[in-house]
Structure 1
Amino acid sequence: MPDTRQNDERTPLQQNVILTSPNPTPLPWAQLSALFLLIFADSLMSASVTPYINELISELPITGGDERKVGYYSGIIISLCFVGETTTVLLWSRLSDFIGRKPVLLGGTLGSIIATVLFGLSRTFWALAASRFLAGALNGNAGVLPSMLVEVTDESNIAQGMSLLILAWSVSFGIGSFVGGHLSRPHDHWPGAFRNTFWVKYPYFLPCAVTSAFAIVSLLIVSIFLKETLHKRNNTSKLRFYSGDSNAGYLRDGESNIEDENNAIVSPGVVQQRSSLRALLTRPVLLSISINALFAFLEISNNSLVPLVYTTPIRYGGLGLDPAQMGTFLGVFGILNGAFQFAILPRIMKLMGLRGSLLASMSCLVPAFLLFPINGTYARHAGSADNILWFLVLFHMLIMVGINMAYSCIFLYTSSAAPKGMLGATNGLAQTVASVQRFVGPTIASSIFAFSLEKEILGGYGAFYALTLCTFTVICFASQLPREAWKSQEDLE
């Protein structure tokens, strides 16, 4: 029998997430496949920009020919996507609590398609900046997708479902990076096929066009097969769930029910909670979201520094990789990351527990940041990329795979802390706060890297040592989380 104790807005209602179960519920493959396509399309478009963004910035008349200043501007361009996301993701997530998840997800993907096409046609810094801002502002999928994942799974199979979606993101990130690196400047690589002056004027449009075309096809497929989850209800049981999901509250005997504007069966308490964001001001929610934000800052700093540092000339402390090499590097990382998260992540969580897995993942940031000066110093002495340097790069890539495990852990903490009826709002708030860090992270990380180079702070590598110290602070803060997902008011004591 379910626990029928009265809960208020301070009580997290998602029961403890069971990472493994002897008899897990079969996964809803049709729904997950549709979500798979959406994530794949979004990540494909976003990742295709990464390999060539620094080369594109260096070609614009804004750096004065000083390659050491590329980091300032590339950091701004990368960050603006998250600035746009910050301004709207909570609104999109809250909207999905009322009109449904599906229309918001479809609209978000369409917004990304428009922004990606505009980015490929941009030839000024301000046009690039505007298109990247729109890419974040028009797409609220980052806050809505986690909510829908919770609603199509239950406690026994959510870890499996999550690992599949992470696999989709990782594989598409890898493919998108490869596409962006190898399809940029097609006029130079295949002058016979791309002789038109259009490709000379817009040398980076081809990867944007290819990824957007895939997203359009995905959008049409998902619009047909994806089913709405917010409208689900169960009229056959005396104890009914709001939205039919595992974090909805049980209706108590004698409590009257009403239908909301989506014809979903809800209790009066749920309607009241859905009308105010104050219900989210609980310790489990705030602690989970804070740790998510701090980790997002460090993780996006590392991710933005990888293409910046590795494409920086060796004489300035980088590795001197070209966009094709950078695309291959990120592509292999995406494939390895997907395989790891899908095949190994659930086993690690079972072995180490949720908090142990999170702390282990965060700890991987320490060697990741320290490998930047190690690789750069070796490259300066070697003069070019050799087998030893490529081994160090591969090692860095494997460490980055371990870092990404933290997002799965934080997602479980955040979703389990959500008050009833406010899953979308909780994930939206988490994504909003994380997005703030994601636009601050690339700007700060790339700027202090450029500043370190200009001022020769600790050999030009002062930025990485500062980020390493920040990592130790965040790890100590994350140790305050419970061993497993939030369960009840008892976790507050």
Structure 2
Amino acid sequence: MAPAKPLSPDGVRAADETTPLLVAPTTEPNGESATAAISNGKTDDPEEQHQDEIEEEDEPLPIGQILLLCFARLMEPIAFFGIFPFLNKMIHETGGVDKADVGFYSGLIESLFSLTQVCVMIAWGRAADRIGRKPVLVFSLCGVTIATGAFGFSTSFWQMAFFRCLAGVFAGTIVTIRAMISENSTKKTQAQAFSWFAFSGYIGISLGPFIGGTLENPAEKFAFFKNIQLFKDFPYALPTIAIASFGFVAAVISALFIKETLHRHESKGSTDNTPPKSTWEIIKAPGVAIVLGLYGFTMLMAFAYTAVLPVYLFTDIKLGGLQFPPLGISIVMGVGGLAQAVYLLLIFTPLQKRFGTVGVMRLCAYVWPFFFSLGPILNTFRRHDAMVPFWVFGPSGLALGSGVAMAFTAVQLALNDISPSHKEFGTLNALALATSSGTRAFAPALATSIYAVGVGKQIAAGHLFWLILIATALLYAAAVRWLPKKAEGKYYKKVDTDDA
């Protein structure tokens, strides 16, 4: 007889890859298992319910639907980042703003966009939980397509601000796509699904600036457009038209081929008509507030680092930076993005399967302080002209440290697992994204301001920002220990009591 597998702390044996995987059961005060308690309408027959759970966990990933959702997901980062290459120039020329004030107005437009998303995000999530994911997705894609296309035809700063806010109003796209990817996957396949989701985001972040930078002012760049009066009158219309065309295609494809997922995980024997929980009930659900807090914590560090990195790379060595030329800055950011994509595509899924979501988050939490330490360390090497250790630690540290990007996908899986039920996926994701948008509205400005103060006053040799970020990362490492067990992403095989 084969030796019995060891019991987990919950009294269930760890599963191997040849057996069905289930979440370790816990018991509610009324004696009902937690799995049954959140099923909201599954059959009362324990054997039939157990079989339903096994069949659901063993469902293959619908790759076609996931790829279609990832294609639709491209629109949000393309629309957001596509205007960055020409935004400052457009504000100066079209908006009539002095060059000295362009930075303020550029930041104002993006802050208004993020604040608008905060105001509407939860409403979109509630709508997706009530009327369905697909109608909200298609309607939002149409809205952001129109708003982004119209942005290039603005003739004043306030028109630019209006159309940017209008694009923010249609924030339902990203809310519904996250929910639909969750509902198209199981606990066994969601790591792979969300690694593709994250990878598509990186593609969109790369495509957006390329479209905006290549197609702006086409009448001066391309002979084909030089006699077209439209692009002489509106030099920034072509890139927004191109982005809007992509959005239109995404909306049509979504309407025709993407399947509704709101009720996909309901049991065959379900007669449940219970409406989704209120927003406050979701927040009060066990573990939800903690995971939302960790989600916001993760985004805070990401936005702060991303905002300061190009400034740090540009800053003079004697002030605390690396003094790279524009090409060098582009290479560093490109290599970082490529490394993050590799981690998500090739490393995250097997790592999460082996160590669980909590294991990935703890690993990233331990790496983050060392990754942020590269800022002052590399500057110190440059100040002392120690080029050999600089080129040893610089590229290797960037490549290895980029793995912290796995925390963004891991915290999304924790969010999925902590949801009271699938019916609340839309609202729960909306709460997380509202937190993210709110953080994005203030974190970049706060981070660059702290960096500027540290550099200007030479506090800690210009490294004030990095010291604060390292301290923040250490707090994050401590906070990850509070991740609820339900969101740890570890799976166990149920065994009969007689076998224990």
State the TM bucket, normalised to the shorter chain: 0.7 to 0.9
Q: 1:287 — aligned with what?
A: 290
Q: Which amino acid letter does the alignment assign opposite residue 41 of structure 1?
A: M
* Residues 152, 240 of structure 2: 8 Å contact kept: yes
Whole-angstrom CA distance in 2 between matches of 1:127 and 1:392 = 47
Q: 2:359 — aligned with what?
A: 356
Q: CA RMSD in A?
A: 4.1
Whole-angstrom CA distance in 2 between matches of 1:310 and 1:203 = 31
Whole-angstrom CA distance in 2 between matches of 1:64 and 1:338 = 36
User: Deviation digits for residues 229-259 of structure 1, max 9, x if unmatched?
Assistant: 1254868x44x3xxxxxxxxxxxxxxxx4xx
Where 2:223 maps in the other structure, the secondary structure is: coil
Task: Describe the shift of the 1:171–1:157 C-alpha distance in structure 2 as closer, same or farther (beyond 3 A).
Answer: same
Whole-angstrom CA distance in 1 between matches of 2:79 and 2:394 = 25
Report the CA distance between 1:93 and its aligned residue.
0.5
Whole-angstrom CA distance in 2 between matches of 1:134 and 1:400 = 37
Whole-angstrom CA distance in 1 between matches of 2:370 and 2:213 = 26
> Is it true that 1:153 corresponds to 2:153 in the alignment?
no
Q: 2:80 — aligned with what?
A: 46
Q: Which amino acid letter does the alignment assign opposite residue 433 of structure 2?
A: Q
Q: Which runs of structure 2 are paired with 1:325-340 in the superposition (5 Å)?
A: 330=333, 333-340=336-343
Report the CA distance between 1:325 and its aligned residue.
7.3
Relative contact order (C-alpha < 8 Å, sep 6+): which is higher?
1
Report the CA distance between 1:430 and its aligned residue.
1.9
Q: 1:115 — aligned with what?
A: 147
Report the CA distance between 1:56 and its aligned residue.
5.9
Q: 1:433 — aligned with what?
A: 435
> For structure 2, which runs of at least 5 residues remain unmatched after alignment?
1-19, 41-48, 50-54, 491-500
Report the CA distance between 1:177 and its aligned residue.
3.5
Report the CA distance between 1:419 and its aligned residue.
1.3
Q: Which runs of structure 2 are paired with 1:473-484 in the superposition (5 Å)?
A: 473-482=475-484
Whole-angstrom CA distance in 1 between matches of 2:117 and 2:238 = 25
Whole-angstrom CA distance in 1 between matches of 2:203 and 2:461 = 36
* Residues 279, 427 of structure 2: 8 Å contact kept: no
The one of 200, 223, 248 aligned to 1:192 = 223
Q: 2:16 — aligned with what?
A: none
Whole-angstrom CA distance in 2 between matches of 1:407 and 1:390 = 28
* Residues 111, 139 of structure 1: 8 Å contact kept: no
> For structure 1, which runs of at least 5 residues remain unmatched after alignment?
16-20, 241-256, 258-265, 489-493
Q: Whose radius of gyration is greater, 1 or 2?
A: 2
Q: 1:344 — aligned with what?
A: 347
* Residues 368, 396 of structure 1: 8 Å contact kept: yes
* Residues 145, 244 of structure 2: 8 Å contact kept: yes
Task: Describe the shift of the 1:191–1:156 C-alpha distance in structure 2 as closer, same or farther (beyond 3 A).
Answer: closer
Whole-angstrom CA distance in 1 between matches of 2:231 and 2:398 = 33
Q: Which amino acid letter does the alignment assign opposite residue 123 of structure 2?
A: L
The one of 236, 245, 251 aligned to 1:219 = 251
Q: 2:409 — aligned with what?
A: 408
Whole-angstrom CA distance in 2 between matches of 1:203 and 1:369 = 40
The one of 457, 469, 490 aligned to 1:467 = 469
The one of 126, 141, 152 aligned to 1:94 = 126
Where 1:422 maps in the other structure, the secondary structure is: helix
User: Deviation digits for residues 47-84 of structure 1, max 9, x if unmatched?
Assistant: 32345556666777656548xx94x5544443333212
* Residues 138, 251 of structure 2: 8 Å contact kept: yes
Where 1:411 maps in the other structure, the secondary structure is: helix
Query: Which has the larger displacement, 327-336 or 104-113?
Result: 327-336
* Residues 140, 170 of structure 2: 8 Å contact kept: yes
Q: Which runs of structure 2 are paired with 1:193-212 in the superposition (5 Å)?
A: 193-195=224-226, 203-212=235-244
Whole-angstrom CA distance in 1 between matches of 2:400 and 2:314 = 19
User: Deviation digits for residues 105-147 of structure 1, max 9, x if unmatched?
Assistant: 1122223223322443446554444333333221222322222
* Residues 413, 486 of structure 1: 8 Å contact kept: yes
* Residues 154, 160 of structure 2: 8 Å contact kept: yes
Whole-angstrom CA distance in 2 between matches of 1:158 and 1:139 = 23
Q: 2:7 — aligned with what?
A: none
Query: Which has the larger displacement, 29-38 or 204-213?
Result: 204-213
User: Deviation digits for residues 403-453 of structure 1, max 9, x if unmatched?
Assistant: 221122111211111113322222222222222112121221233334444
Q: Which amino acid letter does the alignment assign opposite residue 39 of structure 1?
A: R
Query: Which has the larger displacement, 96-105 or 201-210?
Result: 201-210
Q: Which amino acid letter does the alignment assign opposite residue 131 of structure 2?
A: I
With structure 2 as the length reference, what TM-score do the two structures score?
A: 0.74
* Residues 30, 225 of structure 1: 8 Å contact kept: no
Query: Which has the larger displacement, 172-181 or 353-362?
Result: 172-181
Q: Which amino acid letter does the alignment assign opposite residue 427 of structure 2?
A: A
> Is it true that 1:29 corresponds to 2:63 in the alignment?
yes
Q: 1:138 — aligned with what?
A: 170
Whole-angstrom CA distance in 2 between matches of 1:50 and 1:399 = 28
Q: Which amino acid letter does the alignment assign opposite residue 74 of structure 2?
A: F
Q: 2:43 — aligned with what?
A: none
Q: Which amino acid letter does the alignment assign opposite residue 192 of structure 1?
A: A
Query: Which has the larger displacement, 135-144 or 178-187?
Result: 178-187
Report the CA distance between 1:90 and its aligned residue.
0.7
User: Deviation digits for residues 152-180 of structure 1, max 9, x if unmatched?
Assistant: 12222222222222222222222333334
Q: Which amino acid letter does the alignment assign opposite residue 143 of structure 1?
A: V
Identity of aligned residues (%): 25
Q: Which amino acid letter does the alignment assign opposite residue 285 of structure 2?
A: T
Whole-angstrom CA distance in 2 between matches of 1:391 and 1:175 = 31
Where 1:153 maps in the other structure, the secondary structure is: coil
